[in-house]
Amino acid sequence: MKRKIITTSDGSKTIQIEDWNEQYHSIHGAIQEANHVFIKHGLLFYFQSCHPELDSGSHPMNILEIGFGTGLNAFLTFLKAEELQQSINYVGVEAYPVKTEEIQQLNYVELISEQHKAEFEKMHTVPWEGLHDISPTFKLEKQEKFFKYITDKNRFDIIYFDAFGARVQPELWTEDIFKIIYKALKDNGVLVTYSAKGSVRRAMQAVGFTVERLPGPPGKREMLRAYKKSS
């Protein structure tokens, strides 16, 4: 399928799949969306509200990203780990890794933190599979596979669900997929996603998640945050 680099409303770039009229990030602002959905309502919410003992930085936080894509969510998470001095083990699952020449056309480093260019590049050059040190506070494991092959059980504190939208890939937003994701999440863990579709919310609830609607990022009215309550 034909792909091209486009500029979103906040000046940050993303990849567009023209045949689907679908982008890796919101056309209303790639960086704005990532910060709002995944950092503010995922990482920081969990860090500040769910497990205040993490304030000490002594307990590693385990994060799973469904759809590693351009690495934007991972890069923002790395920067927040540095700021908070919180150790994070980050797993990104991606069936179709983004090409090096596409990554080189993105401007996240220039817009967010030029002093961390080396870490952003390292995220994309370390081998797939295996845990790699990006910094003293951030370890990254990239897994090249379809989401249905995730087999982790009670491993992750936070899940970023950032797959392509249900309009173009409805098979990624089903009860079968959310069953797998639910099992991978620890008790009292949190899942966040940009989607607010009723069918997505109902699929999450059907497998055991408690789900709430939150205000969405620019250009989107709502998003979803889900919890795996302790049994």
Contact 173, 195 (CB under 8 A): yes
Tens of pLDDT, residue by residue over 65-121, are: 999 999 999 999 999 999 999 999 999 999 999 999 999 999 999 999 999 999 999
Asked if residue 27 has pLDDT above 90, the reply is: yes
Sign of the CA dihedral running 168, 72, 136, 161: negative
pLDDT at 1: 76
Q: Is 209 exposed, middle or buried (0-12, 13-18, 19+ CB in 10 A)?
A: buried
What pTM was computed for the model?
A: 0.95
Spatial separation of the C-alpha atoms in residues 110 and 205, rounded to whole Å: 40
pLDDT at 231: 67
Q: Is residue 2 very low, low, confident or very high in pLDDT (cuts 50, 70, 90)?
A: confident
Asked if residue 55 has pLDDT above 70, the reply is: no
Return all residues near 108 (Cβ < 8 A) that are at least 6 apart: 12, 13, 30, 31, 70, 71, 72, 75, 120
Q: End-to-end alpha-carbon separation of the chain, Å?
A: 44
Tens of pLDDT, residue by residue over 135-169, are: 999 999 999 999 999 999 999 999 999 999 999 99
User: Residue 230's closest CA among 174, 185, 177, 165?
Assistant: 185
pLDDT at 84: 92
Provide DSSP, 107-140: -HHHHH-GGGHHHHHHHHHSPSSSEEEEETTEEE
pLDDT at 54: 54
Contact 72, 116 (CB under 8 A): no
* CATH class of domain segment(s) 31-227: alpha beta
Average pLDDT over the chain reads: 94
Please give the structure tokens belonging to residue 220.
């989107």
To which H or E segment does residue 31 belong? Answer: helix 30-34
Spatial separation of the C-alpha atoms in residues 84 and 209, rounded to whole Å: 28
Please give the structure tokens belonging to residue 217.
């990022």
